[in-house]
Structure 1
Amino acid sequence: MDTLGSPPWSMLCALGALLAALWFAGRALAGAWLGPRRVARALRSQGVRGTSYRFPSGDMKEYVRLLAAACSQPMPLSSHAVAARAVPFDHAIIKQHGKVALTWFGSEPRVVVADPQLFREILSSKQGQFGKQRSILGIERLLANGLTTHQGDKWVAHRRIINHAFHLEKLKRMLPAFADCSSELVRRWGSFMGPGDAQEIDVWPEFQNLTGDVISRVAFGSSFSEGRTIFRLQSEQAHNAVKMANVMYIPGYRFLPTKLNRRMKANAREVEVLLKGIIMKRERAMKDGYADNNDLLGVMMESNIKESQEAGSSKPMMTIDDIVGELKLFYFAGMETAAVLLTWTMVVLSMHPEWQDRAREEVLRVFGNNQPDFEGINRLKVVTMILHEVLRLYPPILLLGREAYRETELGGVTYPAGVTFALPIVCIHHDPDVWGEDVDEFKPERFAEGIAGASKNSPAFFPFGWGPRICVGQNFALLEAKMGLSVILQHFLFELSPSYTHSPCPVSTLQPQHGSQIMLTKL
């Protein structure tokens, strides 16, 4: 029984709850109100310009508004000035505030960096002061907990193992899969028409299916049909991830039991079950001496065992869960990179038939009507120039993000820990200060002497990133694109269909908003 003058337990509990709520509210206020203002004052005092912080959403409303407006109308048919459509908010900020500008995603300070030298410095850092954005790592890990999400020693170990899988000698062993898939594509297209006939085809979904088939065969070899099921599920995950990205700055949203979250988790579980089944079946075949390890899975598992033995460990460096994560990442990274590259190359060569003619002349001179081979593909100078220029104008990676893990100096400015950096590759690729006043024109001759001499500010060509974390599969994507384009040039002339609308639009990559309708004529 309470003594006279002593507060009842219910009152004490209520008081404790009130104090706890006030403490959490104070922390939230400090994070969403006082913290951003301290960061803004510190950076402005050092000369960094940018937007003013608006509680609580920062620049998110303007970001969403500009993105919606950018894709509301098509571009002029012959224009390649895509930066304002691809990253409209960052493009506008750079024009208004310069190549280093402070913006706000919610209460998160976000510095846009479009200076090539600072871009390289951030991505080349080996001291650990810059790392992946922690605010988006959760979503990335749900999609594919692989090389791009790892940090520190785990990243080093995985990168070393995966490098073996993408060595040029290993890629040569994968070339027959590239050739078979490309040949099947042109045979199917050719079945729609006779010699000299013209047929409209939307090449965007065609190339998505092509790259899906290539990945499934290259990754799993004889388990091709299971690979296609995984490809379908991972394709759905990629589209769902784009929807998730629009709300990722709402704290805790990805943990809510929404329909989208439930679907993504169910897909992730199904993919993991399928992949683990394939891996365990391959492990048994390797132990019995029956495995053909010419595919990506086999090469990766062989490299994993070899690296573990060289390190003197009885346990593999990569667990089954680790291999699952890397294979899921391979799907995400590979299924659209080559597809968008081939799509925009077909579109651009339809706009510039003189370069299409030069590319076809080179392909026929090197291969005739024979199937392209590895040695010949490496001699395709004109085709390589064209692909590099398409990658400059329509880069598959539009923007990279990094976070300052500790207080760090960059370009004479000291940034506090927690500041994130947006690195808009597409803006650097379309910067006249870097590439000249003809920056938005299609001129493959820029790359006649290679990548190093193509820009004024060398190097400034970043289609696959830069530094230690540059895309490990870039040679794979380029080899796949060269094979696909060569086979198409051997069999077809092509031009834009009257129904084509030039509307590059940012999704997970820069994709044709209304398809890529091409008129094919059989040679």
Structure 2
Amino acid sequence: MCSYEEGEGRVELAMEALLYALVLLLCGLALHFYYNAWIRPERIRRKLRLQGIGGPPPAFLHGNLKEVRRFVGEEKGRRRGGGEEKIRHDYSSALFPYFDRWRSMYGPIFLYTMGNVPMLHVSHPELVREMNLCKSLDLGKATYLKRTHEPLFGHGILKSNGDSWTQQRKIIAPEFFMDKVKGMVELMVDSAMPLLRTWERRVEDGGGTAEINIDEDLKSYSADVISRASFGSSYSKGKQIFLKLYELKKAVSKPNLLLEITGIRHIPTKSNREVWKLNKEIRSLILEVVREGSINEGRCSPENNLLRAILRSTTDAGGGDAEDFVVDNCKNIYFAGHETTAVAATWCLLLLALHPEWQERTRAEVKELCAGRSPDANSLLKMKTLTMVIQEVLRLYPPGPVISREALRDIKLGTIQLPKGINIFIPVPTMHQNHDTWGADAYEFNPKRFEHGVTGACRLPQTYLPFGAGPRTCLGQNFAMVELKIVLALILIKFSFVLSPNYKHSPMLRLIVEPEHGVGLIVKKV
């Protein structure tokens, strides 16, 4: 009997110990959660408040998200009830109505919090200039969305920081130098031919005019360009990768506050399973292209093949798996080089349709320089008017509406001591339409302002940010500008166009700024 009671006592003690351990574990998890959700961000906010920087007071867990949703809802209601409006280019308040409210209350530099992430809004031109001139690697890409976006970008160049980013840039940047991009002009012209033939057929079928929704055609063109440039003759397989990446982008873009606070990404929810499946399929497709060795085929020479260049350099990547390096950076190049250029071309055609005098002026220049031939590297360099038009469109409608950075260590910027962990958020349309910087006509389309380049266009050229800022400026800007010039030049040579009366102006943020309802043009042959 005694041994039974002793055994029973030991079981009770074991149960008590287990329960105690469980309570300690739960308390530890709760403290960890509370630290990440409140204590850590509050420490960062306090350091900035002590420097005189104010902002809307945050709530536990949500930060200022409830206010953001309320302001966005009010703005949507206002736009729905506003009736037919004249096309206006000062749309920043429609994208970020909460910033407008807070700027009026706290000035151009203020604190706000998204979930558990403290943010510093910066729209003061002098401080933006300082950020653009800052070369320190301690001011890197924001990491707060890194877990969410990891399936889309991996550890590629767009999201990496520090030595990893430096090494990747050293490998990839030379492939986008202008001498390399010049060698891609012919493949870009080839990629535009299906678009031109399609539009010619539609115009002929329409008896001389046709209403064309241009968005998908331009995305197909851009997809073909980046596929040919990346994979040579395997661009048909590259297009499959595009379709999968588009689906992955939609899945990854869904908000996931729990993931950002806890870091737990491996719960098999429906959304997570979809992301895992797409990521596995994309990886398989990219590696299949690598193994086929098709990069030596086709009209694109190995020197101009981006995948070939990445493969040649994997031994220099510095640690990590070579396959991961190739897959991640192929996905990065796809994302950076596809929709952003296509949407920029869409806005260019929209603005040229609204301003026929600039359309005629640009067409005359292109026809004179091309003299009946397709654009080549030399003629593209001389297209000053077309360059001015593109620069002005990118000022009014920059595809990337925000520049975000994170202080990876304590760092001083201007007069502000940035604590480690603070995220800096620059609204690009606000900077591009600042009247003090750009003049009284900042909301108007006026390519002539770029007649003497960016330095002659505004008071602070470092606040012109269509391709990003500082050392993290987009590596592919030469590639994108040449691609834009080619498709616009070829369209201008063959067609004239006006805006469809059915067009409804509604710039919308879907990671990039694009026309919510697409763009329709009434097109006829020149």
Q: Same fold (TM over 0.5)?
A: yes
Deviation at 1:255, TM superposition (A): 3.1
Tell me, in whole angstroms, the C-alpha distance in 2 between the residues paired with 1:481 and 1:39: 42
Deviation at 1:298, TM superposition (A): 2.5
- Picking from 504, 517, 526, the partner of 1:514 is 517
Alpha-carbon deviations, 1:43-100, whole Å to 9, x = none? 2231102111212201112223334554563783431112112333334323332121
Q: How many residues align?
A: 513
The verdict on how the C-alpha distance between 1:95 and 1:382 changes in structure 2, with shifts beyond 3 A counting, is farther
Q: Is the 8 A contact 1:136 1:248 kept in 2?
A: no
> Is 1:76 equivalent to 2:85 in the alignment?
yes
The verdict on how the C-alpha distance between 1:274 and 1:136 changes in structure 2, with shifts beyond 3 A counting, is same
Tell me, in whole angstroms, the C-alpha distance in 2 between the residues paired with 1:354 and 1:204: 23
- Cross-structure match for 1:214: 225
- SS for the counterpart of 1:8 is helix
Tell me, in whole angstroms, the C-alpha distance in 2 between the residues paired with 1:71 and 1:326: 37
Gaps of 5+ in 2: 1-5
Deviation at 1:30, TM superposition (A): 4.0
Tell me, in whole angstroms, the C-alpha distance in 1 between the residues paired with 2:395 and 2:301: 41
> Is 1:66 equivalent to 2:71 in the alignment?
yes
Alpha-carbon deviations, 1:461-494, whole Å to 9, x = none? 1101121111100111110010000000011111
Tell me, in whole angstroms, the C-alpha distance in 2 between the residues paired with 1:144 and 1:165: 19
- AA aligned to 2:462 is P
> Is 1:176 equivalent to 2:181 in the alignment?
no
> Matches of residues 309-458 of structure 1 in structure 2 within 5 Å?
319-458=322-461
Deviation at 1:439, TM superposition (A): 1.0
- Cross-structure match for 1:51: 56
The verdict on how the C-alpha distance between 1:330 and 1:5 changes in structure 2, with shifts beyond 3 A counting, is closer
- SS for the counterpart of 1:81 is coil
- Cross-structure match for 2:24: 19
- Cross-structure match for 1:294: 304
Q: Is the 8 A contact 1:505 1:512 kept in 2?
A: yes
- Cross-structure match for 2:122: 113
> Is 1:193 equivalent to 2:196 in the alignment?
no
Alpha-carbon deviations, 1:376-420, whole Å to 9, x = none? 011011110010010011001111222222223233232322221
Q: Is the 8 A contact 1:86 1:426 kept in 2?
A: no
Deviation at 1:437, TM superposition (A): 2.1
The verdict on how the C-alpha distance between 1:247 and 1:82 changes in structure 2, with shifts beyond 3 A counting, is farther
- Picking from 132, 136, 146, the partner of 1:137 is 146
The verdict on how the C-alpha distance between 1:294 and 1:404 changes in structure 2, with shifts beyond 3 A counting, is closer
Normalising by structure 2, we get a TM-score of 0.90
- SS for the counterpart of 1:440 is coil
- Cross-structure match for 1:276: 287
Tell me, in whole angstroms, the C-alpha distance in 2 between the residues paired with 1:5 and 1:245: 45
RMSD: 2.8
Tell me, in whole angstroms, the C-alpha distance in 1 between the residues paired with 2:507 and 2:261: 28
The verdict on how the C-alpha distance between 1:106 and 1:519 changes in structure 2, with shifts beyond 3 A counting, is same
Deviation at 1:321, TM superposition (A): 2.3
Asked which structure has the greater RCO (Cα within 8 Å, sep 6+), the reply is 1
Q: Which moved more, 1:22-31 or 1:137-146?
A: 22-31
Q: Is the 8 A contact 1:85 1:506 kept in 2?
A: no
- Cross-structure match for 1:93: 102
